């Protein structure tokens, strides 16, 4: 599961734990597989910490996230990838996606 955490802070790498709150997500299809991207905010972040739902995130930022996730895997020398974002969903749906992902993980790995 991929989680993009909005924050005013700069992080040099991703190998650490933090407290983040999901606010929504992007229902992404990569090839023929679901590849949802959860959008969360860093708890107590000065710029984003007060956001509760995807509707609170500035629309321009959601557009930038959509563009990034549609293009970040595409290498210049490769054939175009079949990637699409079919929905932008709210905090309740994001929590459901996370819950189902945890259930899938437990079923597969115990």
Catalytic residue among 35, 45, 96, 104: 35
Q: For residues 23 and 25, what is the distance between their CA atoms, to the nearest angstrom? A: 7
Scanning the structure block, which residue is given the tokens 């995130």? Answer: 57
State yes or no: is 36 an active-site residue.
no
**Residue 20 · residue 95 · CB < 8 Å:** no
Helices (H) and strands (E) in the chain, counts: 2, 5
Please give the positions annotated as active site: 35
């Amino acid at each position: 599961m991929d989680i993009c955490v909005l924050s005013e802070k700069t992080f040099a790498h991703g190998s650490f734990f933090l407290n983040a709150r999901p606010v929504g997500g992007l229902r992404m299809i990569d090839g023929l597989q679901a590849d949802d991207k959860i959008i969360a905010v860093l708890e107590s972040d000065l710029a984003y910490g007060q956001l509760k739902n995807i509707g609170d995130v500035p629309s321009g930022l959601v557009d930038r996230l959509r563009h990034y996730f549609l293009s970040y895997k595409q290498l210049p020398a490769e054939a175009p990838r079949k990637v699409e974002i079919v929905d932008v969903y709210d905090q309740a749906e994001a929590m459901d996606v996370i819950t189902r992902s945890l259930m899938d993980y437990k079923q597969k790995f115990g």
